[in-house]
Amino acid sequence: MKSARWRERSRLVRLWRLIRSRRPRTFNDKVRYKMLRDHRPLLVTFADKAAVRDHVAALGGEAYLPRAYAVLSDPAGLVDLDLPDAYVMKPTHGSGAVVVVSPAAPANARLPAQGGRWVYCHVRPESVDRKQLAAVGAEWLEQLYGQGPNREWAYGLVPRQILIEELLLGPDGSIPDDYKFFVFHQQVCFIQVDTGRFGGRTQDFYRPRWERIDLSGGPPWASAPQPPPPRLDEMIALAERLSQGTDFVRVDLYSLPNRIVFGELTSYPAGGHSPFYPGHYNKIFGRPWIVPRRYR
């Protein structure tokens, strides 16, 4: 463990990685290139799930934001917080950790015991002990996310807080499909669609004109191509506006019956280790992205 930490902090290791990554060709190569070299404050804003709301409001408008019930520096504030039956809790300084609370959760679902670390779960409100929920949040605040010389450094500069937001629901009352727009130089080139987050998950890829791509990122495809979301052109335009100021970012959005809602901005999908099957799509996804020699 000690040697692993030394490797991640060593200046010599960082220099070796800078040299090794200086001619990136694939999408994953370029993500790692960006992780090592692009240390602008804008990327910290993108990574901060609370601060990014101001970025979205300024460039897109507040109407695209989910309602925020609270931003807490001390998770103990969860115990007496007035919340609806359905909401989402997430850390502002990490990715992949979410507690979804709603009456639609499985009856036997429970919060993890302490030690659950970066949990991702769906539970009913009657199964939520607020003190236990606060303990989950406290564990999140004790952890740094994605650190190291060529890792997701931006998260380490984000103030560690707990964000409570509205739960977004699709027309049938389930968690809505997640549309992930890959934006290179302010132009959407690929769209990833994730469905069934808490059961029966599928994942598909499309081009902006909604032509399905024969690509797998791990999860199975949907049984048939999905129709495009009703306001696809608006979603694409919003994703391109929110990408201003950077050479690449993935913009996650949700399409609800009466609104489009912002999810998050991701500068480093999968930490530069996104799976591509077949593998040549790693190069195809990298082609629209011309990385600068130096970020300013």
- pLDDT tens by residue, 256-285: 989 999 999 999 999 899 999 999 999 999
pLDDT at residue 56 above 80? Answer: yes
213-261 pLDDT, tens digit per residue, is: 999 999 999 988 999 999 999 999 999 999 999 999 999 999 998 999 9
Residue 96 pLDDT class (50, 70, 90 cuts): confident
Pairing assessment for the beta strands 202-206 and 212-213 based on DSSP bridges: antiparallel
Pairing assessment for the beta strands 98-101 and 120-123 based on DSSP bridges: parallel
pLDDT at residue 8 above 80? Answer: no
pLDDT at residue 21 above 80? Answer: no
Contact 165, 88 (CB under 8 A): yes
Rounded-to-integer distance, Cα 123 and Cα 229, Å: 28
Round the CA-based radius of gyration of the chain to a whole number and report it: 19
CA distances from 149 to 16, 26, 88, 241 (A): 11, 20, 32, 30
Element (H, E) at 161: none
Rounded-to-integer distance, Cα 216 and Cα 192, Å: 10
pLDDT at residue 7 above 70? Answer: no
Contact 289, 272 (CB under 8 A): no
Residue range 125-138: mean pLDDT, rounded: 94
Give pLDDT, residue 6: 45
pTM comes to: 0.91
Rounded-to-integer distance, Cα 56 and Cα 265, Å: 10
Per domain, the residue ranges of the chain are 2-64+170-286, 68-166
Lookup: tokens for 48: 């901060």
Q: In what order do the strands lie in the sheet with 187-195?
A: 212-213, 202-206, 187-195, 178-184, 248-256, 259-266
Residue 14 pLDDT class (50, 70, 90 cuts): low
Residue 2 pLDDT class (50, 70, 90 cuts): very low
Instruction: Name the CATH topology of 2-64+170-286.
Output: D-amino Acid Aminotransferase; Chain A, domain 1 (3.30.470)
